[in-house]
A and B are shown apart, each in its own frame.
Chain A
Amino acid sequence: MNLYSLEGVQQILGGRRVLDLEKLELEENKSYALLGPNGSGKTTLLHILAFLSPPAHGRVFFRGKAVDWKEKALTPLRRRVVLVEQHPILFTDTVLKNVSYGPKMRGLSFSAQKKIAEESLELVGMGEFGPRPALYLSGGEVQRVALARALACQPEVLLFDEPTASVDVENARRIEALILKIRKERGISIIFSTHRRLEALLLADEQIFLSHGSKIMESHENIFSGTLVQRGERHFFLTEEGVEIAVHTDLCGPARLWIHPEKINLFSRKPSGFEPETSLFPGRVLRISAERGKMTVLVDMGLPLYVRISRERLAASGILPGDRVSLGFCKEAFSVEKKPESL
């Protein structure tokens, strides 16, 4: 049985469709990363999964049961799922009272509340912070207390909205380690949103890519907004950064271009005798990193472009960071779609 099943779920905020998911199924005891740029609908989806806001259309099933969005029916569901926001807010009280809020709402005795709260604080390495006022904590500490507060609720599902986006690198690593530890020790299903692909690779069993409220098949990398224009027989995509790329499409007007990272050819020098339908662009290598057996090369070609190639091919090309390279795009490298219109 699926943990969540979403069917035809749409969310409309301020007259704009911000989420449009035909079907989404999330399995039990897995961790999922929701990846996508700002405005892709990650937070909206998390609010629906946390039963905090009902979708405008569609049905949500939790462990096979359709969710009844009446306020009274929601409290028992919310007690099984906890959301930690991107910028968590702590009640103006002590750290301990903040962490014991969930157990208190579940009617646990005072001693049980205190015990669970203290254990949760210990788990996030903030055991000695219990009596302190929550008001004076740093951003990283607030994030960890919020995590302890969520854990004290002993949920079946933990939802995180960009858990490391608003903290420094040291705290981000700590929080990532805590999420891994919780997942390992408690077996809680975890769903989190992130901008960071590496974080998603590290923490998630599966990645879900969102763009403009819809699920897309692969990475959110290399998605650019711009305008499609026709010149003579050919169509060009003009990015907001001012780069002009020839594409095969019949569309015109505002659009999004996705350049598949795996379908980009990387050359250490300008190739000769290339197919006429292939566009060539000069660029400079900014960074090379390894991700699950593949190499990701970040190239500056007037806009940041991720290229994914095998370790062997990269080694054979001898490309290093700082090198000038040529990028070759065949027509299969592009996916173009019109920007969704507001309702």
Chain B
Amino acid sequence: MEFFSQSLAEALSMILSMDQKLYAIIWLSLYVSFFATLFAAILGVPAGFGLAVASFKGKRAVITLVNTLLALPTVVIGLFAYAFLSRSGSLGFLGWLYTPKAIIIGQVILILPWVISLTLTAVSRIDLRYRRTALTLGATAFFASLAVLREARFGILAAVIAAFGRAIAEIGIAMMLGGNIKGFTRTMTTAMALEHNKGEFVLAVALGLVLLLVSLGMNILLQLAQGRYGERV
């Protein structure tokens, strides 16, 4: 217990002293996870919305597939993306393996089903009368869809935040596609694993605290966004 409290105290001092090594890792983690979430949202929100409102043959099969992909292990994604990005792979000419770009691609594959599935759930919960009301008030089909999307905005925001949380906390993809290169592709989770292997707990605890803080920050952001409407428009 004493060992843990000592590590915790040193970790806190490391955070407060603005340790350069620590903040470089945090920055990289936030950078890759932000862009992975951004790309996943750009692709996943329209896909989830379309899946919720459209009716087509095989819709159930597509939803089952998306839900199955939620359980995709990060190491499987890592292996899959590695096969494409390695020198001998079809995308090897890009030279993206062991770069932050490779981690972003892997994380997009990881969180895209989450964004699609949670957006689908959020939009499906929206009362059908919203679309009907928008249409009878003269909206085109596109603007009626936007009205529904607007009503589902907090659910979609929650989907994106959950996806960001999943991206920033994963380790398999960052390790296999990023290679844990110091100062270049070392993320919070890969650095924590390395420090643990070395028996150095201070940096690992400090990064763990930051991860928790990031998660807390995202949740506060979500609450603020939801609360804003509740208090005043």
Q: Enumerate chain A interface residues (CB-CB to B < 8 A).
A: 50, 52, 71, 75, 78-79, 81-83, 85, 87-89, 91-94, 101-102, 105-106, 131, 133, 135, 149-150, 153
**Known contacts A89-B130, A91-B151, A50 near B137 by CB under 8 Å:** no
In the complex, A98 Cα to B54 Cα: how many Å?
A: 26
Contact indicator A101/B137 (Cβ below 8 Å): yes
B136 at the A/B interface (Cβ < 8 Å)? yes
| A-facing residues in B92-137 (Cβ within 8 Å) | 127, 129-130, 132-137
Question: What are 10 inter-chain pairs, A to B, with CB distance below 8 A?
Answer: A50-B136, A75-B140, A75-B141, A83-B132, A88-B129, A91-B147, A105-B134, A105-B138, A133-B229, A149-B137
> Which residue of A is nearest B143, CB measured?
A105
Beyond known contacts A75-B139, A101-B134, A153-B138: 6 more, CB 8 A cutoff: A50-B136, A52-B136, A102-B137, A105-B134, A133-B229, A150-B137
Report A-chain residues with C-beta under 8 Å of the C-beta of B1.
none
Contact indicator A82/B136 (Cβ below 8 Å): yes
Q: Enumerate chain B interface residues (CB-CB to A < 8 A).
A: 127, 129-130, 132-141, 143, 147, 150-151, 229-230, 232-233
Contact indicator A85/B132 (Cβ below 8 Å): yes
Main SS of the interface on chain B?
Answer: helix
The residue in A85, A92, A131 that gathers the most chain B C-beta atoms within 10 A of its C-beta is A92
Nearest CB of chain A from residue B137's CB, rounded to whole Å: 4
In the complex, A33 Cα to B150 Cα: how many Å?
A: 35
In the complex, A79 Cα to B140 Cα: how many Å?
A: 10
In the complex, A133 Cα to B232 Cα: how many Å?
A: 7
Contact indicator A85/B129 (Cβ below 8 Å): yes
Nearest CB of chain B from residue A322's CB, rounded to whole Å: 44
> Which residue of A is nearest B130, CB measured?
A89
In the complex, A239 Cα to B172 Cα: how many Å?
A: 70
Report B-chain residues with C-beta under 8 Å of the C-beta of A153.
137-138
Residue in A52, A75, A94 whose beta carbon sits within 8 Å of that of B138 in the complex: A75
In the complex, A165 Cα to B22 Cα: how many Å?
A: 64
Contact indicator B150/A91 (Cβ below 8 Å): yes
> Which residue of B is nearest A93, CB measured?
B233
Contact indicator A52/B135 (Cβ below 8 Å): yes
Report B-chain residues with C-beta under 8 Å of the C-beta of A131.
233
Contact indicator B138/A91 (Cβ below 8 Å): no
Residue in B127, B130, B139, B230 whose beta carbon sits within 8 Å of that of A105 in the complex: B139
Nearest CB of chain A from residue B144's CB, rounded to whole Å: 9
Across the A-B interface, the 10 shortest Cβ-Cβ residue pairs = A105-B138, A89-B129, A79-B138, A102-B137, A83-B136, A105-B139, A133-B233, A94-B233, A75-B140, A101-B137
**Known contacts A78-B135, A133-B233, A92 near B151 by CB under 8 Å:** yes
The residue in B127, B137, B140, B141 that gathers the most chain A C-beta atoms within 10 A of its C-beta is B137
In the complex, A85 Cα to B232 Cα: how many Å?
A: 27
Nearest CB of chain B from residue A104's CB, rounded to whole Å: 9
Contact indicator A78/B132 (Cβ below 8 Å): no
Report B-chain residues with C-beta under 8 Å of the C-beta of A78.
135-136, 138
> Which residue of A is nearest B137, CB measured?
A102
In the complex, A177 Cα to B145 Cα: how many Å?
A: 35
> Which residue of B is nearest A77, CB measured?
B138
Nearest CB of chain B from residue A52's CB, rounded to whole Å: 6
Nearest CB of chain A from residue B155's CB, rounded to whole Å: 12
Report B-chain residues with C-beta under 8 Å of the C-beta of A106.
138
> Which residue of B is nearest A47, CB measured?
B132
In the complex, A55 Cα to B137 Cα: how many Å?
A: 20
In the complex, A92 Cα to B226 Cα: how many Å?
A: 12
Report B-chain residues with C-beta under 8 Å of the C-beta of A89.
127, 129-130, 133
Report B-chain residues with C-beta under 8 Å of the C-beta of A52.
132, 135-136
Report A-chain residues with C-beta under 8 Å of the C-beta of B136.
50, 52, 78, 81-83
Report A-chain residues with C-beta under 8 Å of the C-beta of B130.
89, 91
In the complex, A91 Cα to B139 Cα: how many Å?
A: 13
The residue in B127, B138, B151 that gathers the most chain A C-beta atoms within 10 A of its C-beta is B138
In the complex, A81 Cα to B138 Cα: how many Å?
A: 9
Residue in B135, B139, B140, B229 whose beta carbon sits within 8 Å of that of A92 in the complex: B229
Report B-chain residues with C-beta under 8 Å of the C-beta of A149.
137
In the complex, A83 Cα to B134 Cα: how many Å?
A: 11
Report B-chain residues with C-beta under 8 Å of the C-beta of A93.
233
In the complex, A94 Cα to B232 Cα: how many Å?
A: 9
In the complex, A135 Cα to B139 Cα: how many Å?
A: 22
In the complex, A272 Cα to B129 Cα: how many Å?
A: 59
In the complex, A81 Cα to B134 Cα: how many Å?
A: 13
> Which residue of B is nearest A101, CB measured?
B137
> Which residue of B is nearest A102, CB measured?
B137
> Which residue of B is nearest A88, CB measured?
B133
Contact indicator B143/A71 (Cβ below 8 Å): no
Residue in B133, B134, B141, B151 whose beta carbon sits within 8 Å of that of A71 in the complex: B141
In the complex, A150 Cα to B147 Cα: how many Å?
A: 17
In the complex, A93 Cα to B141 Cα: how many Å?
A: 20
In the complex, A131 Cα to B147 Cα: how many Å?
A: 19
Report A-chain residues with C-beta under 8 Å of the C-beta of B137.
82, 101-102, 105, 149-150, 153
> Which residue of B is nearest A97, CB measured?
B233
> Which residue of A is nearest B141, CB measured?
A71
Report B-chain residues with C-beta under 8 Å of the C-beta of A50.
136
